Amino acid sequence: MAPSETMEVQTTKKKCITCLPGEMIEQILVRLPASTLLRCRRVCKQWNRIIRDPKFIMAHLQKAPRCPLMFSHRETCSKKLYPSEAILFDEAWVPSRWNVPVIEPDDFLCASCNGLVCLYSDKTTIKIANLATGEFLHLEKPDKKLKGDHYCLYNFGFDPVREEYKVIHFPCERSYFPVGRVNDIQVYTLGDEKWRSVRSPKTQMLNYILYSGVINVDGAMYWLIEDKESIWGCTAVSFDLYEEHFEWIRMPTVNLASSGYGSCCIFWITEIDGKVSVATDQTSFYSTRGFVGKLEFWTLDNKIDQNWSRKYSIQYPGVDIEFPRHFFIHGDKIVMYDLNGNMYCQKLMGQSIEIEQSKMVKLLNYSPRSYNNMQSYVHVKSLVGLDAYSRAGNGIVRRPKQCEGWGLKKWEKWTLELSSLQKHWRSIHQFEHLITTHAQHMGLDINPLLQHPQEKGWLNWVGQKWVLEMLDAFTQRLEGIAKSMEQAVDAIRSKMSVHETDQGSTSSVGTSSSSALMDGESGYTKAGGVASSI
């Protein structure tokens, strides 16, 4: 194509982009995933302006799919230290471990809200991060000398009235269970200069919070506290993020059936279909399976009247299973895992459900990690930014210290291992591209050699003899090419079989691929030599 024609095509493409109405472009862009929009910002100034608009970001957030986010914090298995890891599922329930680069090896996940996550570590700061854009900021903890501080004592939510993000902290000292009691909570609004204390009208016993968790629904935080006067032994507490006031919500007026001596009820607070929900079950000291009753879910239908209704009643299967805390129902599926490191999901049909092995769909295997170290959250990939908050809150935003956490040497080792892994994947991709290119070139070189029979009426006796001699010569040469190609293919296949038997080692993948490519190149060189001699 001539340079003038190329310029005309580029000019035509630019005109096609700019000729569309702005509203139509916005309606198209708002339906794209966050990763695609990050690239679309570089197309032109108009698209960049649209995508960075706060109204567009909120509109995109409303349309973005809510996906399961599984998180395992650091642990030691078989004398080997494993870092914290997040696994994000897409709409098709396909897991991905590569979309969360801002999570460090020592981080604990506290909450997920509008694409932002709150991460806790043993450092003097907590971190707010956007997993899609990679933006993050570190906030100074409210009390650096608090003994027994825990990631469960922090949470993160959104106030839709003022459109503000807030972090809450329960300032209670603890050593072992029970956690303790609090008379106030600490609140920080992103962009402010300091933490604030909000007084509670009643003393709150937080014995349930480590196990039951905290959720954020419709601009309010919810958690469970101990209440000996309740027939359930606990009560739900609501903290409105706009008015910053507390409200006590009684539990369903239903007596929980007891499974006998040595059994006790356990509770989780969660969210189902945008409603506050409580899950109940019973555990027994005399049962090897742990859970001995039915897993029941109750949803809060009306916060003012405090009306609850039974949502699901789930019967366990014949095998040992556990549920990740705290969001283990995602849409119409429930997530579970067995003691062998396998994670499953099953579709929920009706209100009375029985977990059946034949209906359990395997999602992944997370061994050798511990089965009780898995947390589950609801996450969306959004474009919510943090740059404005990092500039505004100069009094509390801090720079992280690189030597904290695992320590500088362990952190450098982890980053080097990750960099090496990515380097191997890039090398494999380059090899694959090179092999495909060689195959295409080989086809182009061989195609002119392939003879097509001419019409019989065109040939006389002399012509037939000449063609016959020419075809005999071509046959011998093509046999040589085919033999060389067959040898090259056999060599490549043998190397590929070695790769398949030892695919657990990343280094062997690179070595096998490179060896196969060298053999393929040598075979191609032989074939090319025969071809060039024709």
Per the document, the length of the chain is 534
- Evaluate whether residue 159 is within a structural domain: yes
3-state secondary structure of 303: coil
- Evaluate whether residue 13 is within a structural domain: no
Does 410 score more than 60 pLDDT?
no
| Least confident span in 262-276, 279-293, 295-309, 333-347 | 279-293
Mean pLDDT of 269-282: 89
Mean pLDDT of 66-79: 87
Same domain? For 58 and 68 the reply is no
Does 283 score more than 50 pLDDT?
yes
Domain that holds residue 430: 415-533
The pair of three-digit structure tokens given for residue 167, joined into one six-digit string = 């972090």
3-state secondary structure of 427: helix
Final residue belonging to a domain, choices 377, 406, 435: 406
Burial of 283 (0-12, 13-18, 19+ CB in 10 A): middle
Final residue belonging to a domain, choices 406, 425, 443: 406
Query: How many structural domains are present in the chain?
Result: 3
Given pLDDT bands bounded at 50, 70 and 90, which one contains residue 162? very high
Mean pLDDT of 167-182: 72
Does 246 score more than 90 pLDDT?
yes
- Evaluate whether residue 43 is within a structural domain: yes
Mean pLDDT of 273-281: 89
Q: Whole-prediction pTM value?
A: 0.70
- Evaluate whether residue 2 is within a structural domain: no
Same domain? For 267 and 207 the reply is yes
> Would you say 374 and 70 are in contact if contact means Cβ atoms under 8 Å apart?
yes
Given pLDDT bands bounded at 50, 70 and 90, which one contains residue 407? very low
- Amino acid 216: pLDDT: 93
3-state secondary structure of 151: helix
Same domain? For 91 and 81 the reply is yes
Residue 530: partners with Cβ closer than 8 Å, 6 or more residues away: 477, 480, 481, 484
The pair of three-digit structure tokens given for residue 438, joined into one six-digit string = 């060689």
- Evaluate whether residue 370 is within a structural domain: yes
Final residue belonging to a domain, choices 349, 372, 406: 406
H helix intervals, 2-131: 3-19, 22-29, 34-40, 45-52, 54-63
Same domain? For 39 and 90 the reply is no
Q: Tell me the C-alpha distance between 202 and 230, whole Å.
A: 15
